[in-house]
């Protein structure tokens, strides 16, 4: 294959990753500001009038780091992974180019009101908090752009399947396209919320909106979005990390089964974010709680399969004994160490998730700092640290330059953990012990108790270390792109072989229709009645409030 065969796809990926990194960089500055504010050092006053309040900073942090960094990185990475895995170019490239253009335009539209303090509605944008219409329209365009890019990947896979009748789809392309398919269905909730409720409301076309219906449509997308973030990391843990460790995929069928289960189970669980909301019948919350336990199952499969795959690598590298293989894994390779650390820490984040999902226990932790601890272990470590690990080979590939200082990169990974553990564990502890509310300017709260201080200070130290780790990361990224030597050969995407030939994987694990039908049926059962009830009783009386 000629060297520049994937030039367009590489460029498209580079643009997505570049914007994602820009968002991560900007968003990360607000993290320390928040924890420092909680610990009694309020630097927000010094940023006025540029940044006008703690809540504007919190919104920027959430939107840039949870929504923009993830979405842009994922779409770029999955495009790269699909074409490399199929060894085929995009079949309708203009679709992906148009999708990217729409995402970029949408981002600019949303960013302007965010920066002007006209959209300080936090990353969940619950009414009655109201934002400038451009914020909602911009975010909608980002989602629609990602749909177009998803279609680009579906058509590319369809063309490949047509050209290879009867062959099993390569695992990486399968996992990438499935992730985009899940996202297409999942994001219908937020699309409906934007089109029917928030955009007309913000344009003044409706005098009020229904806050509960809006929240329910939001969480239809809001929970599966966490699997939209997680599955690209899983794709790498299953399909790439074993190769980096010198091992093989322990079971190709189990890997595919885990992804199919995520397609079916990621969406009909959103009511577990609304256990405390009045107006939704408790029985339906119970159904979603049970389905949430079900969606932990593919993660448990993943824990087993990925660790078995790494064990194969550790043993192939000379490791012996029950745990001796762990020490022989390539911990000096920052791409490996970042992702392996992310995997290990996800065990803690997952346990926290199961606690959250338990209906009655949720009432203790809901809206407390515990939840902030939870999503920094999951989104902040399992996902973000994995993506950082991926960039440690992807950026050298895209730039054609060697990774600038692998030692510094490895240090960056451990610094991330050194910051995240005190940050996250203290948030968990004070959330459950004292019920301290999240999304609150605690430094100004009259009820702040001196008992909380040591933990808030510990969290602040963790937050500052996290920021330092990210700054080092950006030095490494810039060093790689602008100040590093060329690689002798283009860096190849790591592709792990399966222990048994993947052509032996049963054909039912490569058929889309039954799984898609099952997905739609389960969503209809779990969401149909409660949504119908809310739509029938919709009450468009919620005012449009701007409070900060």
d(CA 492, CA 490): 6
When binding is defined by CB under 6 A, the residue of 136, 154, 218, 375 that contacts ligand HAS is: 375
Q: Are 334 and 248 in contact (CB under 8 A)?
A: no
d(CA 73, CA 64): 12
Residue 163 beta carbon to ligand HAS: minimum distance, rounded to whole angstroms = 35
When binding is defined by CB under 6 A, the residue of 75, 97, 111, 226 that contacts ligand HAS is: 226
The DSSP secondary structure of 278-345, one letter per residue, reads TTS-HHHHHHHHHHHHHHHHHHHHHHHHHHHHHHHHHHHTT--TTTHHHHTS-TTSHHHHHHHHHHHH
Catalytic residue among 161, 317, 439, 500: 439
244-256 burial code (b ≥16 CB/10 A, e <16): bbbbbbbbbbbbb
Indicate the residue among 16 and 285 with the shorter CB distance to ligand HAS: 285
Query: At 518, is the secondary structure helix, strand, or coil?
Result: helix
**Catalytic status, residue 438:** yes
Binding of ligand HAS by 57 (CB under 6 A): no
Omega cis (within 30) before 473: no
Binding of ligand HAS by 480 (CB under 6 A): no
When binding is defined by CB under 6 A, the residue of 215, 243, 285, 374 that contacts ligand HAS is: 374
SS (H, E, C) 379-443: HHHHHHHHHHHHHHHHHHHHHCECCCCHHHHHHHHHHHHHHHHHHHHHHHHHHHHHCCECCCCHH
Binding of ligand HAS by 366 (CB under 6 A): yes
Indicate the residue among 123 and 155 with the shorter CB distance to ligand HAS: 123
d(CA 365, CA 126): 20
- Give the CA distances from residue 188 to residues 191, 275, 474, in Å, rounded to whole numbers and listed in that order: 5, 22, 34
**Would you mind telling me the total number of residues written for the chain in this entry?**
548
Indicate the residue among 346 and 467 with the shorter CB distance to ligand HAS: 346
Beta bridge partners of 209: 542
Residue 461 beta carbon to ligand HAS: minimum distance, rounded to whole angstroms = 23
d(CA 32, CA 467): 7
Catalytic residue among 288, 366, 374, 427: 374
Binding mask 297-326 for ligand HAS (x = CB under 6 A): --xx-xx---x--x---------------x
SS (H, E, C) 205-233: CCCCECHHHHHHHHHHHHCHHHHHHHHHH
Residue 519 beta carbon to ligand HAS: minimum distance, rounded to whole angstroms = 17
DSSP 195: I
Number of residues that bind ligand HAS (CB under 6 A): 34
Catalytic residue among 227, 259, 275, 423: 227
Binding of ligand HAS by 343 (CB under 6 A): yes
Binding of ligand HAS by 455 (CB under 6 A): no
Binding of ligand HAS by 230 (CB under 6 A): yes
**Catalytic status, residue 196:** no
Indicate the residue among 159 and 303 with the shorter CB distance to ligand HAS: 303
Binding of ligand HAS by 288 (CB under 6 A): no
Catalytic residue among 215, 392, 438, 527: 438
Q: Are 349 and 382 in contact (CB under 8 A)?
A: yes
**Catalytic status, residue 376:** yes
Binding mask 258-277 for ligand HAS (x = CB under 6 A): --------------xx----
Q: Angle of helix 384-399 relative to helix 334-357, nearest 10 degrees?
A: 150
When binding is defined by CB under 6 A, the residue of 290, 347, 483, 517 that contacts ligand HAS is: 347
Q: Angle of helix 513-536 relative to helix 171-186, nearest 10 degrees?
A: 20
Catalytic residue among 168, 223, 288, 427: 223
Residue 126 beta carbon to ligand HAS: minimum distance, rounded to whole angstroms = 10
Residue 87 beta carbon to ligand HAS: minimum distance, rounded to whole angstroms = 29
Query: At 118, is the secondary structure helix, strand, or coil?
Result: coil
Residue nearest ligand HAS by beta-carbon distance: 350
**Catalytic status, residue 164:** no
When binding is defined by CB under 6 A, the residue of 59, 251, 337, 362 that contacts ligand HAS is: 362
**Catalytic status, residue 427:** no
Q: Which residues bind ligand HAS (CB under 6 A)?
A: 124, 226, 229-230, 272-273, 292, 295-296, 299-300, 302-303, 307, 310, 326, 343-344, 346-347, 350, 353-354, 356-357, 362, 366, 371, 374-375, 378-379, 382-383
Catalytic residues, by residue number, are 223, 227, 374-376, 438-439
């Amino acid at each position: 294959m000629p060297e520049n065969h994937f030039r367009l796809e590489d460029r498209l990926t580079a643009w997505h990753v570049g914007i994602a990194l820009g968002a991560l960089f900007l968003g990360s500055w607000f993290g320390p500001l928040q924890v420092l504010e909680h610990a009694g050092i309020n630097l927000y006053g010094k940023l006025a009038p540029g940044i006008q309040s703690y809540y504007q900073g919190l919104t920027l942090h959430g939107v840039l780091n949870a929504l923009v960094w993830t979405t842009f990185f994922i779409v770029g990475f999955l495009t790269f992974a699909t074409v490399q895995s199929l060894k085929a170019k995009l079949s309708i490239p203009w679709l992906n180019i148009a999708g990217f253009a729409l995402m970029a335009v949408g981002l600019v539209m949303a960013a302007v009101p965010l920066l002007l303090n006209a959209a300080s509605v936090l990353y969940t944008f619950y009414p009655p908090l109201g934002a400038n219409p451009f914020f909602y329209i911009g975010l909608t365009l980002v989602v629609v752009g990602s749909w177009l890019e998803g279609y680009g990947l579906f058509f590319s896979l369809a063309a490949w399947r047509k050209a290879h009748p009867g062959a099993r789809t390569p695992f990486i392309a399968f996992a990438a396209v499935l992730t985009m398919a899940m996202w297409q269905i999942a994001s219908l909730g937020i699309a409906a919320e934007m089109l029917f409720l928030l955009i007309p409301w913000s344009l003044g076309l409706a005098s009020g909106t229904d806050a509960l219906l809006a929240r329910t449509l939001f969480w239809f997308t809001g929970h599966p979005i966490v699997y939209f973030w997680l599955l690209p990391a899983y794709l790498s843990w299953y399909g790439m990390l074993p190769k980096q460790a010198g091992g093989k995929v322990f079971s190709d069928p189990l890997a595919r089964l885990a992804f199919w289960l995520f397609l079916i189970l990621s969406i009909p669980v959103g009511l577990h974010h609304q256990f405390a909301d009045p107006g939704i019948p408790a029985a339906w919350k119970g159904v979603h709680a049970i389905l949430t336990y079900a969606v932990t199952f593919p993660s448990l499969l993943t824990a087993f399969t990925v660790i078995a795959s790494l064990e194969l690598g550790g043993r192939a590298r000379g490791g012996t004994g029950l745990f001796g293989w762990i020490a022989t894994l390539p911990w000096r390779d920052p791409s490996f160490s970042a992702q392996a650390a992310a995997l290990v820490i996800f065990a803690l984040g997952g346990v926290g998730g199961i606690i959250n999902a338990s209906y009655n226990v949720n009432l203790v932790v809901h809206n407390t700092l515990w939840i902030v601890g939870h999503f920094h272990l999951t989104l902040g470590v399992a996902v973000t640290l994995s993506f950082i690990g991926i960039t440690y080979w992807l950026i050298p590939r895209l730039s054609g330059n060697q990774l600038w200082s692998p030692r510094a990169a490895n240090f960056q990974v451990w610094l991330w953990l050194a910051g995240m553990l005190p940050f996250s564990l203290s948030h968990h502890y004070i959330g459950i012990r004292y019920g301290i509310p999240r999304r609150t300017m605690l430094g100004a709260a009259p009820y702040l108790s001196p008992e909380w201080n040591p933990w808030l200070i510990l969290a602040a130290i963790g937050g500052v270390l996290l920021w330092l780790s990210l700054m080092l990361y950006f030095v490494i990224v810039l060093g790689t792109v602008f100040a590093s030597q060329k690689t002798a050969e283009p860096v190849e995407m790591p592709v792990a072989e399966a222990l048994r030939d993947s052509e032996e994987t049963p054909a039912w694990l490569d058929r889309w229709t039954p799984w898609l039908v099952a997905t739609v049926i389960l969503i209809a059962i779990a969401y149909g009645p409660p949504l119908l009830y809310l739509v029938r009783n919709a009450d468009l009386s919620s005012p449009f409030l701007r409070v900060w």
